[in-house]
Structure 1
Amino acid sequence: MNLSIFFEPLPEDAFGYPEDVKSVGGYIAPFLHTFPDWRQAEVVLIGLPEYRGAHSPADVSYQGPNLIREQLYKLKKGTGSWLLMDLGNLLPGISLEDTYLRLKEVIEMVVDAGKFPILLGGSHDLTYGQFLGYEYLHKKIGVVLIDSQLDIQENPDVAPEGSHLHRLLLHEPNYLFSFSHLAHQSYLTDNDTLIALEKLHFDLFRIGQVRQQLKEIEPVIRQADMLSFDVSAIRHQDAPGQRQANPFGLTGEEACQLCWYAGQNDQLSSLGLYGYRPEFDQRSLTAMTVATMAWYAIEGFYHRQRTLDFQSNHFLRFAVGFHDNPHKMLFYKNRHTEKWWMEVEDLAGERPSLIIPCSYQDYLTAADGDVPSRWIQVQARM
């Protein structure tokens, strides 16, 4: 399939002449006249000027992806080769559902080719299109959403931006293995919904838990195949360009740290940065915040270890025994990054063991004779 039919080129006067050859704009290959040979890239940028699923879409400026680009292109290039291409903006479909299906085809093709797409702009319901891209990749996936609230309302009058998570979780065929939601704010979230999702063994972390234990959140992100980040999770001071601006939330630094974790995750194959509303962003502060988040994701990508051979010399192996159980719990530590993994055996014996990301604290918990909660959660999903 020729991807170029789905995209519109970028304006040459804005993106064709980088002021600094050492900036991101000096290293990126944008779609100006000729669609770039994206198969030669490692990371691809995709703009999503689609807001029909948003609350109050009539007031939206559709320049969001380009405004983020303007800020990103000005930043200095980081380390590594930075084989980065910008495919331009995805042309919206005739209907919103058509856009979801277009995004699905693009994600499926790009991810299947081993490229890392970063999606810029658009309302948060486009997460559903991002998720659909994994339907025919023949694997169970882990999904991480970062948002100030759970977009799982069932009211038919609610905009798709507020209900897309419901569609994602109930999608058939079911290829969702794990789901984690980070940074929800309790006063914006229905408690019955939280209880129902916890019974399904999903991981839910309040904003306070994320901020207080940012390093403990890293293993959660490390088990994701796709990540969706709604700008509403960031406080108004750092990201005023959002419809539901809130004085509380993640700082810009914390958002960038989470994107750094995401970029470093060898398993992560797509990242969506959603919810930017330029009509509320008078000084382009939010565009700069989102651009910096994308920068950290790209920089993290070029710090990936690209090896998960747990039997190699890159890993140390630790076995923890329990006095009332003949089995041992196995842990693995990367010698270079000092990141930890944990082996989870299927107690029913119906499937092979899984080696999942964990933290040093999980190892200490097992060494003290207790079973880590992360092990219990995975065992329940096997």
Structure 2
Amino acid sequence: MADFTLLHDYLLPISKASLNDDQEYDEFQIGGIVDLYEEGYAPNLDIADIILLGVNEDRGYGPGKKGPDAADIVRREFYSLFYWHKDVKIADMGNLRKGVSLADTYAALRTVLAELINSNKTIIILGGSHDLTYAQYRAYATQKYVIEVTVADALIDLKEESPIPADSFLMDMLTEQPNYIRHYNHLAFQSYFVHPRMLETLDKLRFDCYRLGKVRENLEEIEPVLRNTDMLSLDINIIKHNDAPANTLSPNGLGGDEACALSRYAGMSGRLSTYGIYGYRPEKDKEFLTARQIAQMLWYFVDGCSVKNKEALLNERDAFYEFNIVCGDIDTVFLKSKKTGRWWMQLPGKGKDFVPCTYNDYVTASNNEIPERWLRHQERL
């Protein structure tokens, strides 16, 4: 159970009235149903499926003047949307108190997330700078949980020589010992921003990196990646400037609708426990369009959670179509969910474990070719 009283000292309450200009929310709006931490009122975290946590920490961007608090601006837009998923309960813990130092904020975020992860909750972090991803990971590491991590970012933040935490945090996350990352995926990087040797290093570690063009070419191929992910960190710089004006890194990127689709896939994951959305700079936003983009991504995440709630367990074989395939010298099994249409394939070995895949993997195997996804899993084993 998630005990709010244990976390109270780390948090600041939110005023729902101030988010809606002192107007009442409609009972069909998200703001009308969300269980929000307000002054004198604590939300019931035990019945929540999704918990929101604002982290207005921007010191990781480096020195310089910063804009207004990002989390509340996104909340304002998210709460105004209509609530279509009555089977998904949403709670909001308010905002994390900033520490005296950036390291203090990391420690506080790590503590709060660890408590919620241990309570089997799904937490969305409306964050500041992307280096908060490191504290997100440390919440698992302190519990010695071995996890699969996915980062969606136009850059690969491995600049060891940079004094700016948002540019270098991945180095600590991927190299510190002991390490609890079983596998790492990087989505939607833009090649012209990335040193080739960075990719060579990640590939030698058998990590999977998907450039922007690959992600856009067939977005459905990314769904199994997110289905197998425990922790997701997304920088809004993956969204092209026209769809997210606060992203001033590049005119190119995912479309807003594609970012919503990725967020929905994340919500459909039965393993995902934390989802951080970072890099929103309100002072660079135009007419709050980026805040609205993020709010709609959150809406689609909730939509994905609704789909997840309808999915059967893999051992409930009557809920799946089963296909036995001989691919080369390998006998394997593919499963297709009757409820959601998603696919799994069986790996060899003692466990005969099933891993997420796509219909295209099944077609490839049916043509007597070993799917690349199958090979990558085997390499890692």
Matched, 1:148 2:151: no
> Deviation of residue 106 (structure 1)?
1.2
- The corresponding residue for 1:263 is 267
Q: Distance in 1 between matches of 2:145 and 2:331?
A: 28
> Which amino acid counterpart does residue 365 of structure 2 have in structure 1?
A
Q: Distance in 1 between matches of 2:251 and 2:327?
A: 47
Q: Distance in 1 between matches of 2:191 and 2:134?
A: 24
Give per-residue Cα distances to partners, 1:143-165, cap 9 Å, x unaligned.
Answer: 1111111111110x331101111
> Deviation of residue 25 (structure 1)?
0.2
- The corresponding residue for 1:48 is 55
- The corresponding residue for 2:341 is 338
Give per-residue Cα distances to partners, 1:153-189, cap 9 Å, x unaligned.
Answer: 110x331101111111113222211211110001111
Q: Report SS of the residue matched to 1:97.
A: helix
Q: Distance in 1 between matches of 2:280 and 2:138?
A: 22
Q: Distance in 1 between matches of 2:10 and 2:164?
A: 25
Q: Report SS of the residue matched to 2:243.
A: coil
Give per-residue Cα distances to partners, 1:340-368, cap 9 Å, x unaligned.
Answer: 1111124xx6xx33311011111121222
* TM-score normalised over the length of structure 1: 0.93
> Which amino acid counterpart does residue 376 of structure 1 have in structure 2?
L
Q: Distance in 1 between matches of 2:229 and 2:119?
A: 18
> Deviation of residue 21 (structure 1)?
2.0
Counterparts of 1:1-382 in structure 2, within 5 Å, are 2-15=6-19, 17-33=23-39, 34-55=41-62, 57-155=63-161, 157-242=162-247, 244-304=248-308, 305-323=310-328, 325=329, 327-346=330-349, 352-382=351-381
- Percent identity over the alignment is 36
Instruction: Kindly indicate whether the alpha-carbon contact (under 8 Å) linking 1:50 and 1:62 is maintained by their aligned counterparts in 2.
Output: no
Instruction: Kindly indicate whether the alpha-carbon contact (under 8 Å) linking 1:23 and 1:77 is maintained by their aligned counterparts in 2.
Output: yes
Instruction: Kindly indicate whether the alpha-carbon contact (under 8 Å) linking 2:35 and 2:44 is maintained by their aligned counterparts in 1.
Output: no
Q: Distance in 2 between matches of 1:322 and 1:307?
A: 27
Q: Distance in 1 between matches of 2:203 and 2:145?
A: 23
Q: Distance in 1 between matches of 2:16 and 2:296?
A: 23
> Which amino acid counterpart does residue 20 of structure 1 have in structure 2?
D
> Deviation of residue 306 (structure 1)?
4.5
Q: Report SS of the residue matched to 1:88.
A: strand
Instruction: Kindly indicate whether the alpha-carbon contact (under 8 Å) linking 1:310 and 1:332 is maintained by their aligned counterparts in 2.
Output: no
Q: Distance in 2 between matches of 1:306 and 1:102?
A: 34
RMSD in angstroms over aligned alpha carbons? 1.7
Q: Distance in 2 between matches of 1:204 and 1:146?
A: 10
Instruction: Kindly indicate whether the alpha-carbon contact (under 8 Å) linking 1:44 and 1:84 is maintained by their aligned counterparts in 2.
Output: yes
Q: Distance in 1 between matches of 2:47 and 2:316?
A: 32
Q: Distance in 1 between matches of 2:279 and 2:321?
A: 41
Give per-residue Cα distances to partners, 1:173-220, cap 9 Å, x unaligned.
Answer: 222112111100011111111111111111111111111111111111
Between the two proteins, the alignment pairs up a number of residues equal to 373
Instruction: Kindly indicate whether the alpha-carbon contact (under 8 Å) linking 1:14 and 1:70 is maintained by their aligned counterparts in 2.
Output: no
Give per-residue Cα distances to partners, 1:18-71, cap 9 Å, x unaligned.
Answer: 33221110000211112322223221110010011114x422124100000000
Instruction: Kindly indicate whether the alpha-carbon contact (under 8 Å) linking 2:68 and 2:283 is maintained by their aligned counterparts in 1.
Output: no
> Deviation of residue 129 (structure 1)?
0.8
Give per-residue Cα distances to partners, 1:261-308, cap 9 Å, x unaligned.
Answer: 110111111111110000111311111111111111112112213532
Q: Report SS of the residue matched to 2:370.
A: coil
Structure 1 portions without partners, runs of 5+: none
Q: Distance in 2 between matches of 1:361 and 1:12?
A: 46
Instruction: Kindly indicate whether the alpha-carbon contact (under 8 Å) linking 2:311 and 2:339 is maintained by their aligned counterparts in 1.
Output: no
Instruction: Kindly indicate whether the alpha-carbon contact (under 8 Å) linking 2:85 and 2:302 is maintained by their aligned counterparts in 1.
Output: no
Q: Report SS of the residue matched to 2:160.
A: coil
> Deviation of residue 100 (structure 1)?
1.4
Q: Distance in 1 between matches of 2:222 and 2:35?
A: 34
Instruction: Kindly indicate whether the alpha-carbon contact (under 8 Å) linking 1:228 and 1:274 is maintained by their aligned counterparts in 2.
Output: yes
> Deviation of residue 374 (structure 1)?
1.1
> Which amino acid counterpart does residue 98 of structure 1 have in structure 2?
D
